[in-house]
Amino acid sequence: MITRLSELFLRTLREDPADAEVPSHKLLVRAGYVRRVAPGVYTWLPLGLRTLRKIEDVVRQEMDAIGGQEMLFPALLPREPYEKTNRWVEYGDNLFRLKDRKNADMLLGPTHEEMFASAVKDMYSSYKDFPVTLYQIQTKYRDEERPRAGVLRGREFTMKDSYSFDMTDEGLDESYGRHRKAYQNIFNRLEIDYAICKATSGAMGGSASEEFLAVSEVGEDTFVRSTEGDYAANVEAVVTPAPAEKDIEGQPEAQEYDTPNAESIDSLVSWAKQAGITIDGREATAADTLKCMMVKLYHPAVESEERESELAAVLIPGDRELDEKRLEAALEPVEFELAGDKDFADNDFLVKGYVGPRALNANGIKVLADPRVVKGTAWITGADASERHVVGCVAGRDFTVDEFIEAAEVKEGDLAP
């Protein structure tokens, strides 16, 4: 149907909307494609809806081409299937929960794995029925804490989700390959500059995951590529190659030193150089120091319950900053926040600026460490006393690690896995 421009339901804006930060969001609103209703919730206006439907058509054509069959599940879902998979709790505050007039628990679907699996279980009973690939284009709901970037990071959004059901690992690999090719065809047809990156599976689960990331200077994700071009990954999924373990026997005993005004890594390294401190026979650098970052972990709980919390430490080399996105991905579904003044006040063995792993072990604090902190490596750490540090604190001898975790920033020049 052709609509005359004079009759089109359209209103353009001269100025950028106050709540818009990224160019795509500003342009969509100013050009009259979408209109904000609430934070993270948008109305698709006629021009925007036409565009969205054309994109959906491209997706449908490529999904149908690999044998996918389209379905449509409801957005309003019962609690039971999500309770079986524990995601009623694991999704935490991101889940929109509600009760109907009979006081039954319901949710607005954040994703539909449970529903697809239930439908196939209900309708198929023989190996002869498989393989089958099912997909839908459906509205999803997630109560984002900080919705941003307009329709890119909303609380209500459109998702195409697809699921294959196969009898063998080989069949799964074939289905994955067909989907991968379909996605390449979709983004090529839409003329999007993209990179295929290794990714974390998050609450979706699974043994392998890849993301198709649109390359943009104003994006909110960061990815890395190797110089040979044979490896790309979202920084959250980058795996740090751990160095070889070292022999503990024969290493010098750890020694404590007075280190006045050495709360920062730079000032600590300056002190070490002036004091003639060496690590493995060479001058100490920031990479030989160990940051002990205190965090508070919150384990998943239904919103009506109080979340269980615990104090933990994250150890990373001093030449790196803590990457909170990597830490968030590594801990999921557990959430975290940096420890506050009250946490330090409640634990007198924690001395700000001088926290060390020995006191953490002695007081039963969980220690999460960067993969570089392997057995036998020697570090300069806090001595758990004001203006004092330990030199030659050896992992596996002077302190132990409970779990290795990816939390340090990824730098240009790091080795690809």
pLDDT per residue of the chain (417 residues) written in tens, 0 to 9: 556 778 889 999 999 998 888 899 999 999 999 999 999 999 999 999 999 999 999 999 999 999 999 999 999 999 999 999 999 998 888 899 999 999 999 999 999 999 999 999 999 999 999 999 999 999 999 999 888 888 988 999 999 999 999 999 999 999 999 999 999 999 999 999 999 999 877 656 667 789 999 998 888 788 999 988 788 999 999 999 899 999 999 899 999 999 998 889 999 999 999 999 988 888 999 999 999 999 999 988 765 567 788 999 999 999 999 999 999 999 988 989 999 999 999 999 999 989 999 999 999 999 999 999 999 999 999 999 999 999 999 999 999 999 999 999 999 999 888
Sheet strands side by side (includes 232-234): 210-214, 194-198, 232-234, 223-225
DSSP 395: B
Cα 312 to chain center, whole Å? 19
pLDDT at position 172: 95
H or E segment to which residue 233 belongs: strand 232-234
pLDDT at position 54: 97
Q: What residues does 394 pair with on adjacent strands?
A: 378
Cα 88 to chain center, whole Å? 19
Closest CA to 197 of 161, 224, 217: 224
pLDDT at position 3: 64
pLDDT at position 145: 86
* Longest CA–CA separation in the chain, Å: 85
pLDDT digits 0-9 by tens, 312-358: 999 999 999 999 999 999 998 898 999 999 999 999 999 998 999 99
Q: Domains of the chain by range and CATH?
A: 5-191 (3.30.930.10), 193-238 (no CATH), 255-404 (3.90.960.10)
pLDDT at position 380: 96
pLDDT at position 204: 60
Rounded to whole angstroms, the Cα distance separating 129 from 115 reads 18
Left, alpha or beta for 333 (phi > 0: left; psi -120 to 50: alpha)? alpha
Q: Give the orientation angle of helix 169-189 with respect to helix 46-65, to 10 degrees.
A: 140
DSSP result, 90-122 = HTGGGSEEEE-TT--EEEE-S--HHHHHHHHHH
Cα 247 to chain center, whole Å? 35
pLDDT at position 2: 59
Rounded to whole angstroms, the Cα distance separating 294 from 181 reads 44
pLDDT digits 0-9 by tens, 80-106: 999 999 999 988 888 999 999 999 999
pLDDT at position 228: 82
